[in-house]
Amino acid sequence: MRTQLSLAPLAGIETELLAVLAADTQTAKGSDAKALPVLLTTDAAVQAAAAAVLASGEFKAGANEFLLLHAPVGLKAKRLLIVGLGKQAKATVDKVRSAAGAAVRYTKPRAIRELALALPELDLLPVGPSSRAAVEGALVGDYDPDTYRSDRKDLSVQSFTLAVTASADKAAAEAGFNEGVIIADSQNFTRVLVNEPGNKLTPTIMGQRAAAMASEVGLDCEVHSTAKLKELKMGAFWSVSQGSEEPPALIVLRYEPKGVADGPVLGLVGKGITFDSGGISIKPGQDMEKMKYDMAGGAAMLGAMRAIALLKPKVRVICVVCAAENMPDGKAQKPGDLQTAMPFNAETPGKTIEIINTDAEGRLVLADGLTYARQLGATHLIDAATLTGACVVALGMANAGAFSNNDETFNKFNAALATSGEKFWRLPLGDEYAEMIKSDIGDIKNTGGRWGGASTAAEFLKVFADETPWIHLDIAGMAWVEDSRPYIAKGPSGIAVRSILEWVRSY
């Protein structure tokens, strides 16, 4: 998609479709209260073109509600699309993001290849953040997952113009717009990886894709396999890999900004299970095909690193992605096995882990990934994983889970959500959960049973974060969009890329 910023008057923009946002200004409540929609633009020609239909009561400006006008009088655009934001008093930048995505998705099946969106004029919606959100929504909204259809038709919007009023802060608009392009492209990079079938994205290929991206944006990259895991004594990571014909991949990316020699080193650790059968504790067959997206946490870290490399925050970042297949062949680990995780140093032995359920494999690869990130110098940690069904039971598909051993570190992440627009809900850790994963024959078990499963999984990871300030993101319920929404297609969401990026930038 070609993207550009325009300061031209809306009436003079020649385009197949001009989209303008509208909000409901009605503040009264009750069944008798009628919507009072207004356009969020001061352009007189657009106001005149839409005046009659707005007055009719046909359009109420509900969130992602559409009204299409053909050959609007006084405009050079062939069509005028009015997109609702909902109540004006509750207008947010995130709603601009959704509306922009909804506008793009509205055009795609109608063979409209050119779209201009008028940035809303409203004090609640500052120009810079709104510009960023609008282009993010447009680019994310344009993605569809039907990559391998033999009869695939390219319905992509070829050109997107963000129209900003001439009186707006041009520098802020341009900065927000340029950031939005980078961030959305990085989120879509993640979505492309998550969408790949397990035979098209093995751990080895995931490492190759990471290396190619790193070369493109200027990151240092190393990709290791079995020999390195054994050299580092990554017994937990290797235990998951040993049941597959596909070798594992230990992906390490480094971002070293010029002129930054001290300060924090942020460690990003991702679960990269490119297919999860459950191993010997095999999953039910129904919906197992979706387990190709069990590498969404690792993909989110790669997408975040892409954005970091291009936006260049002044902080050092290390990324570790542990990629493997979890398969049930004759060499696979078994329930009851004992594994030894990577030691942090020569004086500290690795933790022994009793394997209760081989389908609790994500925490095993992350255990060694967290330890390795600490060994490489990370002073703060964040991990992301499609880790537990228990988190989905707790939060549904409306929020992803978040855990932390450090309030200050988590508060930075929580503050970042206002910019990212993503939804995470903090869930508890505590001694009660730690007690549930104690092992009779080793240090810890890899599952604490049915109850509190998201928290016991997080407690398991906390052991390997040790005293390092750490955040764990359980994105199991949010990594895949089960049904298409007005602003995003069914399929991979790219959740956590924007939030991880903003957390990094907060340092």
Q: Please, what's the b/e burial string for 290-304 (b: 16 or more CB within 10 A of its CB; e: otherwise)?
A: ebbbbbbbbbbbbbb
Helix H or strand E segment including 278: none
Count CB-CB contacts under 10 A for residue 21: 28
Which residues are identified as catalytic? 283, 363
Q: Which two tokens stand for residue 327?
A: 């398969």
Token look-up 């924090």 returns: 264
Rg of the chain in Å (alpha carbons): 24
Vertex 246 angle, CA 241 and 247, to 5°:
60
Count CB-CB contacts under 10 A for residue 6: 17
Q: Which two tokens stand for residue 306?
A: 């892409």
Length of the chain: 507
Q: Which two tokens stand for residue 222?
A: 């190393």
Q: Report the first-to-last Cα separation within the chain, whole angstroms.
A: 32
Task: Judge contact between 362 and 379, C-beta under 8 A.
Answer: no
Count CB-CB contacts under 10 A for residue 244: 22
Q: What are phi and psi of 75, to 5 degrees?
A: -115, 145
Task: Judge contact between 184 and 136, C-beta under 8 A.
Answer: yes
